[in-house]
Amino acid sequence: MKADIRVALVGNPNTGKSTLFNVLTGLNQKIGNFPGVTVDKKIGYCQLPDGRRAEIIDLPGTYSLYPKSQDESIVFSVLADESNSSRPDLVVVILDASNLKRNLLLYTQVADLKIPVIIALNMMDLANKAGTEIDVDLIAKKLGVAVIPIAARKLVGIDSLKLAIAYANKVAFQEPSIDVEAIAPELIESISRELQIDNPYFALQLAHQHETIKFLSPQQSDRIEELEKEHSFHSQKAQGTETIARYAFINELLYDTVKQPATAQDETHSNKIDKVLTHKIFGFILFFAILLFMFQAISSWSAYPMELISDAFVWVQDTLHHVLPNGPLTSLLVDGVIAGLSGVMVFIPQIAILFAFISILEDTGYMARVTFMMDKLMRKVGLNGKSVVPLIGGFACAVPSIMSTRTIENWKDRIITIMVTPLVTCSARLPVYTLLIALVVPNRNVWWLFNLQGLALTAMYVFSLISAVVVAWVFKIILKGRERGYFIMELPVYRMPRWNNVLYSMYERAKTFVFQAGKVIIAVSVILWVLASYGPGKRYEQIDQNYKRPQYTKPLSPQDINLAISSEKLENSYAGVLGHVIEPAIRPLGFDWKIGIALITSFAAREVFVGTMATIYSANGSTEEMQSVQEKMHNAKNTQTGQPVFTLAVAFSLMMFYAFAMQCASTVAVVYRETKDWRWPAIQFAYMAVLAYAASFITYHLLR
């Protein structure tokens, strides 16, 4: 879409930036990528009062232009790099009127970059309510910019803001805040001269950030490094000097423009809530109660829509099979691509519900408190308070959870969180566990209260958490931290969740998931389809012919013949051959070649196991027929010994394998996307494979 003017939203976290973005753009938004980085770029469009269209970019929330996380580093690059394709014509800095002092720091930095800027003074309603008097006109006059008081949640002042955007200057007219040159006079002068920069603050920022900035050439970066040595520039000291100078400027500005109420503040609303929510005992009880409710909701609320989606796909597949001519192309489309797609789509409800919960917990400010409560515990095992969110999300699905690790600033903490999140029992393992437990664990109660099968399932969940914690601890010892971990974090005041934002977040995450994971899953399912539908040599081709002979057509119904054909085809397909090839390797775990096929196909996604088992034991693949899969598996006998294939030892060994192995192409893809380095998904795949093999081996030999 074409736009007449590009506007960037910049502001601290928790200032209502996303609310304003949603209000300005409505559903008219999309997520893209900034070139070269993984940070999501949120873009929307807004009709201005003068008829022009504005493209609005929502930049990640940050407290200053000195970045502390990947997401934050994009802000300076977008604002300062003239060749950046996202560089805005105008910056709207959103300030929280109830917390002006700290918010103004970022404004003064942006203003000094000499980009046209206007201020949206948000949460005016809260400031008024607290009795704070703000002389908006005087602030505007002193800073030399338009200041628009708004209350984004209540849609107050939005029209004025649009008007201000429409009539904003094309040139930066704002007053300078501090004397930037005084911080490092000679260095700024040299950099400005050599790189032909006319803005002293841009030159100073280059001095600070040249090592991480993408738009500088290596020669330029090296030259800046030389200049820094020459002028003995100390980045952190200079930053400190700058911050103190900026706050001095801000204090002076606020001195005669803002009046705080003289009366001593009552204990705030938030503080009272915190007394309960972060209480030594109630705090934890409440936290676990919320978790329990979340899992219940994710599994029960999603059941119906998931069934609808999978039924819809079955219907489409059936219809296409009837409409299209029989042949390999139809089969590829229907059994390969569409079957693969349905594997992705059924997870949409779970992901949407999970993200609804996460965005409610984040929006209200509760997640920050969970982080606060859990930090010490998590730190002991090399994680971070902020790792709690992805680990919890891992119970639903590792893919969106790994995406949510971006809030962890510390590199080492983030990598460890990414590495262990897939160990947590995700919803895709649930059908596998359910099937296997039903097969070998008797359905009866012990101690009157507990169902044995339920206990076995709970044990698998608890076991997954323990293994995640132990593995995290091992990574903590092995990995060397590049940055120092720290935990300086704002605890935002409690607020009601914004239901619009919750809906947007559900919609966006589901969309991102479908597009990102969808590509990989479709590719893998096509490969699997080829492996399972073709076989080497003549034998495979003759199967159809064989079953046309009278000795089969007479005693068997056409249905049974079809089942027999597909089962024999599978055994002779490339996948079947592969199963036989890996059989020696998995025999010590108690698995035969049929389970081997399921293991191979499960590498696309774990839940494929049930479908594969269904095909191999020639039952129908849909979940309604699970009972019959279970019966067939129950009756399966080892051809040599005549013993049942699925003994307690085999079933638990299989569950251990599924507990540890990285059988999820989407997770591999998302880990690569988030780390931008193939080594991390490779290491993860390898360590999980080793653990899976070892755990299965031990389990099988202990229980045999």
Partner 1 sequence: MDMKLSQLAVGEKGIVKEFTDLEMSVKLMEMGCLPGEEIRVDRIAPMGDPIAINVSGYQLSLRKREASTIILQ
Six-digit token pair at 231? Answer: 């002028």
Q: Which residue lies nearer to partner 1 by CB, 494 or 504?
A: 494
Q: Which residue lies nearer to partner 1 by CB, 88 or 492?
A: 492
- Per CB under 8 A, the segment of 98-106, 174-182, 627-635, 696-704 that binds partner 1 is 98-106
Least distance CB 509 / partner 1 (angstroms):
27
Q: Which residue lies nearer to partner 1 by CB, 377 or 694?
A: 377
For residue 652, state whether it binds partner 1 (rule: CB under 8 A). no
Query: What is the distance between the alpha carbons of residues 3 and 5, in angstroms, rounded to a whole number?
Result: 6
Q: Which residue lies nearer to partner 1 by CB, 272 or 587?
A: 272
Query: What is the distance between the alpha carbons of residues 616 and 621, in angstroms, rounded to a whole number?
Result: 10
Task: Restricting to residues 314-373, name those near partner 1 by CB under 8 A.
Answer: 368, 372-373
**CB of 429 within 8 A of CB of 422?**
no
Query: What is the distance between the alpha carbons of residues 208 and 242, in angstroms, rounded to a whole number?
Result: 12
Q: Out of 26, 49, 131, 240, name the contact with partner 1 by CB under 8 A.
A: 240
For residue 607, state whether it binds partner 1 (rule: CB under 8 A). no
158 Cα distance to chain centroid: 31
Q: Which of 332, 176, 306, 353 is nearest to 249 (CA)?
A: 176
Q: Out of 27, 182, 292, 377, name the contact with partner 1 by CB under 8 A.
A: 377
Q: Out of 27, 182, 244, 470, name the contact with partner 1 by CB under 8 A.
A: 244
Query: What is the distance between the alpha carbons of residues 79 and 409, in angstroms, rounded to a whole number?
Result: 21
DSSP secondary structure, 115-132, as one string: --EEEEEE-HHHHHHTT-
Query: What is the distance between the alpha carbons of residues 605 and 589, in angstroms, rounded to a whole number?
Result: 21
Q: Out of 6, 87, 102, 223, name the contact with partner 1 by CB under 8 A.
A: 102
For residue 209, state whether it binds partner 1 (rule: CB under 8 A). no
- Per CB under 8 A, the segment of 111-119, 272-280, 353-361, 659-667 that binds partner 1 is 272-280
CA atoms within 13 Å, Cβ hemisphere of 378: 24
Task: Restricting to residues 379-398, name those near partner 1 by CB under 8 A.
Answer: 385
Integer CA distances (angstroms), 263 to 97, 256, 259, 534, 668, in order: 19, 18, 12, 81, 57
For residue 411, state whether it binds partner 1 (rule: CB under 8 A). no
For residue 222, state whether it binds partner 1 (rule: CB under 8 A). no
For residue 237, state whether it binds partner 1 (rule: CB under 8 A). yes
For residue 257, state whether it binds partner 1 (rule: CB under 8 A). no
Strands 445-446 and 133-134: unpaired
Six-digit token pair at 507? Answer: 């919609």
Least distance CB 141 / partner 1 (angstroms):
24
11 Cα distance to chain centroid: 22
For residue 212, state whether it binds partner 1 (rule: CB under 8 A). no
CB crowding 531-544: b at 16 or more within 10 Å, else e: bbbebeeeebeebe
The sign of the torsion formed by the CA atoms of 293, 295, 300, 306 equals positive
Alpha-helical regions (H) of 70-135:
70-80, 100-112, 124-129
Least distance CB 258 / partner 1 (angstroms):
11
Least distance CB 613 / partner 1 (angstroms):
45
DSSP structural state of residue 152:
G
Q: Out of 28, 69, 239, 299, name the contact with partner 1 by CB under 8 A.
A: 239
How big is the site for partner 1, counted in residues (CB under 8 A)? 40
Q: Out of 141, 269, 376, 704, name the contact with partner 1 by CB under 8 A.
A: 376
Task: Restricting to residues 42-81, name those near partner 1 by CB under 8 A.
Answer: 63-64, 66, 68
Q: Which residue lies nearer to partner 1 by CB, 262 or 449?
A: 262
Task: Restricting to residues 430-469, name those near partner 1 by CB under 8 A.
Answer: none
Q: How many residues in the chain?
A: 704
Residue 516, judged by CB atoms within 10 A of its CB (0-12, 13-18, 19+), counts as middle
Per-position x/- string for 485-504, each x denoting binding to partner 1 as judged by CB under 8 A, each - no binding = -xxxxxxxx-----------
Hey, is 62 helix, strand or coil?
coil
Query: What is the distance between the alpha carbons of residues 526 and 287, in angstroms, rounded to a whole number?
Result: 43
For residue 375, state whether it binds partner 1 (rule: CB under 8 A). yes
Q: Which residue lies nearer to partner 1 by CB, 178 or 633?
A: 178
For residue 289, state whether it binds partner 1 (rule: CB under 8 A). no
Q: Which residue lies nearer to partner 1 by CB, 1 or 488?
A: 488
Q: Which residues bind partner 1 (CB under 8 A)?
A: 63-64, 66, 68, 98-99, 101-102, 105, 236-237, 239-240, 243-244, 247, 270-271, 274, 278-280, 283-284, 368, 372-373, 375-377, 385, 484, 486-493
